[in-house]
């Protein structure tokens, strides 16, 4: 996918969807692929706190690529095709499963509304079905 590796080219891609930490762009000339672009944003407390952390997108992209490479190499098919650069991943276009998993040590955000506990000795997995 040479030619997609420059982040500056994002401006000519059509934005299909965006969220707190990612933007999804179409790939010109290929309706089956999209580019998942990580941004340096981080949010907390249901969007009440939004910050930009330098290099966060780079680390998120590397971790995501490593996880999906591991799954693909373990015969678990994913949408992942390749990491294009520090912030962009080429993936198959698919429908998102509206599910989020957050590992927590301290209760924050929407979790406080659902549960009473505020702190744990070990991380808990908090599964949430997303509204949209």
Among residues 46, 44, 41, 9, the alpha carbon closest in space to that of 28 is found at 9
Cβ atoms of residues 117 and 107 within 8 Å: yes
Residue 30: strand pairing partners: 27
The structure's pTM equals 0.69
What residue has token string 């330098």? Answer: 54
pLDDT at 9: 55
pLDDT at 129: 67
CA distance 107 to 113: 10
pLDDT at 41: 78
pLDDT tens digits for the chain (132 residues)?
Answer: 444 445 455 555 789 988 778 899 999 888 899 999 999 877 765 656 667 778 889 999 999 999 999 999 999 999 999 999 999 999 999 887 877 766 666 666 666 666 665 555 666 656 666 675
């Amino acid at each position: 996918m040479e030619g997609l590796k420059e982040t500056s080219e994002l401006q000519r891609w059509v934005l299909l969807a965006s969220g707190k930490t990612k933007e999804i762009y179409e790939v010109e000339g290929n309706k089956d692929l999209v580019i998942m672009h990580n941004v340096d944003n981080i949010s907390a407390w249901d969007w009440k706190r939004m910050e930009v952390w330098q290099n966060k997108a780079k680390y998120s992209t590397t971790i995501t690529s490593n996880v999906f490479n591991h799954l693909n190499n373990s015969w678990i098919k994913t949408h992942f095709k390749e990491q294009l650069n520090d912030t962009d991943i080429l993936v198959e276009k698919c429908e998102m499963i509206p599910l989020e998993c957050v590992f927590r040590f301290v209760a924050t955000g929407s979790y406080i509304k659902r549960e009473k506990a505020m702190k744990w000795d070990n991380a808990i997995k908090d599964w949430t079905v997303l509204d949209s």
